[in-house]
Amino acid sequence: MSHYALFPLTLGQILREYAITELHLTLNAGKWNYDNWGHPHEAGVGTGAELWAWMGVSEVTTVDERWSGLRNALSGLFCASLGSLDTRRTLSPTVAFPLSGSTPTFAPHELRHASLPSENVCTENLTPFLKLLPCKSHAGLAALLNPQKVFDADWHGMGIHVIWKEDAGVELKLTLQAVFNPVRTSAGKRRDWNLQSLFDRTIERPCPVANSSSVTVILPEEEDHKITPENPTYADGLAIYGLSSSSNFTIPLNIGMHWPSEHSFHYPLPPLTPVAPLSVKRTIHGTTQTRGVLSVSVTNNSPQELLAGYLEMMPALLTLWMHTLKVEINSQLRSDLLSGLKYHPPSLQSNDRLSPSMLQAVLTIPPKTTLKISMEVNKAFLKYTEHPPDAMRGWDLPGAVFFPLPQLSHDTCSSCDWERIYTPTLLVDLPTPDFSMPYNVIILSCTLMTLIFGSIFNLLTRKWVVVEIQE
């Protein structure tokens, strides 16, 4: 990491300054639809901002100090409100977010994880992201990233992943994922697409410093499609276009696909079979602003029994009543299906704030079954200064995370091959005080108190006399 010809200097400085071993930052907008879209290429698709970092314990500065510095530096670098990922949102869920590179031996490592579901991802985040690339958005695939088109997608998200590998050094992976729906944007309800129609741009030239550069198209199973330009490298249901200068494709390259025999696209009718092995729904029921029931229903779509880790990171705004935790299948209590329950109640931090509570458990989900977890929650009454300016909108709660566990049996099943799943975020409305009342309340309450205080001390101190009342 001593020369920054390709590695972005700005990011490198941050990593050095705060001694970060592994870093993952994702900024996503929209909710990933696992049932219809399957698993993403990059697992980090939780709505909003998510940041997690593994740091070695050192004697010079504490991990928390470096974590605080890291999020402030990244928030400056990416123009995102990562600074608010403070102790109220920080946890250390090591099982769900393990080190993905090598396990360092030089120091014990600690994890810090925080997410901010209300972060809106927009152009101001994309521009600094593109600046990290050696060719910026001038050449290569990154040239396609036209903000107007990318942010019009059904789902879009970017990620920065820094992974330390013992033999190879630091690996930086910048990802940008988006889900486009050509049927929605095309005039004739057709599903034909090409780079020009998706991005308003084509690939003009590869980035000169790139060792390899390729576009991969997953081919649909039906036969009647046509892909242009023709003659890509076919492999395993994929069409691969190498973009290196030696390739035989004409530049500018406008990859596309069309269905000549199809007049207009008809969405498949429900019921659809979910693509992912697990489908998760998470809601908060309840009519009052003071309490509710958090309920999570997990469906195992595969024919095998699944073991899934369940992680709930709940800001202290919501108190989970653990004694009301229920695990049900078809309204029958099945507490045996939940094991390894670990619960950390919110803890008071040094700055008088409460950290989130963390609930982690292992669920055993029988094949083709829906498991329902529910627990009562209380919503906090906050001071008027703790509410955001748009208090009536409510608070976004981060989604729960389901993660695969190492299977105990050695027989490999295809459906066990899945990655972290994020549930959509929840919006919870907290009871609000009246924000225009501070002076009135101070005046009214103090008046009442002094009135009673005064009356009583008046009674206690004055002398009793009998007076003559004359007409």
Q: How far is the CB of 157 from another protein (least distance, A)?
A: 33
d(CA 70, CA 55): 11
Burial of 287 (0-12, 13-18, 19+ CB in 10 A): exposed
- Judge whether 253 and 234 are in contact, CB under 8 Å: no
Query: Can you tell me the distance from the alpha carbon of 60 to that of 270, in angstroms, rounded to the nearest whole number?
Result: 59
Q: How many CB atoms are located within 10 Å of the residue 250 CB?
A: 8
Smallest gap from residue 360 Cβ to another protein (A): 13
Helix (H, G, I), strand (E, B) or coil at 256: strand
Asked if residues 156 and 150 have their Cβ atoms less than 8 Å apart, the reply is: yes
Q: How far is the CB of 352 from another protein (least distance, A)?
A: 9
Q: Cα torsion at 320, 324, 329, 333 (round to 10°)?
A: 160
Closer residue to another protein, CB minimum distance, 230 or 468: 468
Question: Smallest distance, Å, CB 378 to another protein?
Answer: 8
CB of 191 to another protein, least distance (A): 44
Q: Please identify, using beta-carbon distances, which residue of 36 and 347 lies nearer to another protein.
A: 347
The nearer residue to another protein, 240 or 449, going by C-beta atoms, is 449
- DSSP string for residues in 326-384: EEEETTEE-GGGEEEEEEE---B-TTS-BPPEEEEEEEEE-TT-EEEEEEEEEEPPPPG
334 vs 344, which CB is nearer to another protein?
344
Closest to another protein by CB, 162 vs 294, is: 294
What are residue 40's phi and psi, to 5 degrees?
-75, 165
- Binding footprint of another protein on the chain (CB under 8 A): 287-291, 316, 319, 321-323, 341, 343-348, 354, 357, 376, 378, 380-385, 431-434, 437-438, 441-442, 444-445, 448-449, 451-453, 455-471
Beta bridge partners of 310: 361, 402
Rank residues 263 and 462 by Cβ distance to another protein and give the closer one: 462
Which alpha helices (H) appear in 56-101, and where do they start and end? 63-78
**Smallest gap from residue 339 Cβ to another protein (A):** 13
Which residue's CB is nearer to another protein, number 240 or number 442? Answer: 442
In whole angstroms, give the CA distance from residue 219 to residue 237: 6
Of 8 and 356, CB closest to another protein? 356
Cβ nearer to another protein, comparing 181 with 290: 290
CB of 463 to another protein, least distance (A): 5
Residues in CB range of 441: below 8 A, 6 or more apart:
none
Tell me the torsion sign for CA atoms 280, 25, 21, 89.
Answer: negative
Please, what is the minimum distance in Å from the beta carbon of residue 392 to another protein?
10
Is-contact 21 55, C-beta < 8 A? yes
Q: Could you tell me the smallest distance in angstroms from the CB atom of residue 10 to another protein?
A: 36
